[in-house]
Amino acid sequence: MNGMQKLDIKQLRILNALLAEKNLSRVADNMGLTQQAISEQLRKLRDVFADRLLVRQGNSMVPTPLALELGTKIHTILSDIESLSQVNEFSPATYKGVITISATDYAIEAVLPSFLRVVREQAPHLKLIVTDFESDQLSAKLTSGELDLALTFPPFVSNDIPWAHLFDEQHICVASACSELCNQAPLSLEQLASLPQLVISPSKANLKGSHDRWFAEQGLERNIVMSLPSFKGAPDVLYTTDMVAFYPSRLLPNSKVASIAMDVQPPKFEVIVAWHPRTQHSQIHQWLLGKLQEICGKSLINRAY
């Protein structure tokens, strides 16, 4: 690793950004530099570490094993430097930086609109990247520094990742707004189990739902006939079919669906925000966590269709 003494903070920031974005032009745009300047810095970094660091694959760039190893260390170094520079000086109004958030499709609809409105108002220079939720890679990406925060559920977070409670959510059983089921007397769990059901399975493509265990504990098996990867299209699907589904209360009301009365309600589920211990004392992370908890303690959204 010749030339290590010539390595500067700017180059570390560029490499950190490249490992996160895996795209030269996006990094150039985000950092206010030309793509040629980023390419030149990448060339120098390759000389310093005697490694290609990022290898082009299609329209993206893939980190080498050494680059992935360096990524965790660089993120820690930059976080420490940021903490030093912001001691007693932190102000969200003037803070400049990039934060990457992973969010479930539910959180994108139920949490992010209110949260991002506040962030844009109070931290106008902060740039945010919201990525798709990948449950099997969540902890690894938080550890590597590829993600700063994750809006998720406790089962998806490993034991070494800290998290904070945001709120409890309740699933409501819904069907097409035109369905006669919405005007009937409360259904028993046994009656509901026999109805054709739609489930949302964001992490794996299968016919399994989050309330399967609840039914099984009553000796019942759900009649699941379809799964979708997100809640987004569920109301449209339900509106044109005979299926029922459990839908989060904070995504209601919706003109395409109506609730079905039940004589017993499913267990509530917990919505959380997770981060890596490395950022425990980062002022921007603490500010964002505080805003999330503040917003989630209020009415998150006012939906009208």
pLDDT of residue 217: 96
Is pLDDT at 299 greater than 60 in this prediction? no
Terminal C-alpha separation, the chain: 60
CA distances, 142 to each of 68, 145, 150, 203 (Å): 13, 5, 8, 17
CATH dotted code for 1-89: 1.10.10.10
Kindly report, as residue ranges, where domains of CATH 3.40.190.10 are found in the chain.
93-168+268-305, 171-267
Question: Does the 93-168+268-305 domain belong in CATH 3.40.190.10?
Answer: yes
Question: Token digits for 23?
Answer: 């795209």
pLDDT band at 301; cut points 50, 70, 90: very low
pLDDT for the residue 42: 93
Angle between helices 9-21 and 24-31 (to 10 degrees): 130
CB under 8 Å to 29, separation ≥6 — which residues?
none
**Are 148 and 82 contacting, i.e. CB atoms less than 8 angstroms apart?**
no
Residue 305's pLDDT is: 27
29 φ, ψ (degrees, to nearest 5): -65, -45
Band (59; pLDDT cuts 50, 70, 90): confident
Q: Provide mean pLDDT across the span 289-300.
A: 83
AA identity, residue 109:
E
pLDDT at site 298:
63
CATH 1.10.10.10 domain position(s) in the chain: 1-89
Residue in the structure block whose two tokens are 């006012």: 302
User: Is the CA virtual torsion 8, 285, 29, 18 positive or negative?
Assistant: positive
Question: Which residues, in sequence order, are bridge partners of residue 273?
Answer: 151, 164
Instruction: Give the CA-trace dihedral at 86, 89, 93, 98, to 10 degrees.
Output: 0
Helices (H), ranges, the chain: 9-21, 24-31, 35-49, 65-86, 105-110, 112-122, 138-144, 189-194, 212-217, 234-239, 283-296
Render pLDDT for 76-106 as a digit per residue (tens, 0 to 9). Answer: 888 777 766 655 578 999 998 999 999 999 9
% of the chain with per-residue pLDDT over 90: 66
Higher pLDDT, 234 or 298: 234
Find the mean pLDDT for residues 148-162. 91
- Please, which pLDDT band fits residue 235 given cuts at 50, 70 and 90? very high
Q: What is the pLDDT of residue 5?
A: 65
CB of 200 within 8 A of CB of 244? no
Q: Identify the pLDDT of residue 172.
A: 97
Architecture of the domain defined by 171-267: 3-Layer(aba) Sandwich (3.40)
Query: Beta-carbon neighbour count of residue 115 at 10 Å?
Result: 22
Q: Which residue has the higher pLDDT, 132 or 300?
A: 132
Query: What is the dihedral angle through the alpha carbons of 30, 31, 33, 37, rounded to the nearest 10 degrees?
Result: -110
pLDDT over 60 (residue 107) = yes
pLDDT mean across residues, the chain: 90
Query: What's the length of the chain?
Result: 305
pLDDT at 4 over 70: no
Mean pLDDT of 234-263: 97
**What pLDDT shows up at residue 282?**
87
Instruction: Give the pLDDT band (50/70/90) at residue 136.
Output: confident
- pLDDT value at residue 124: 97
Look at the alpha carbons of 292, 295, 298, 303 in this order and tell me if their dihedral is positive or negative.
negative
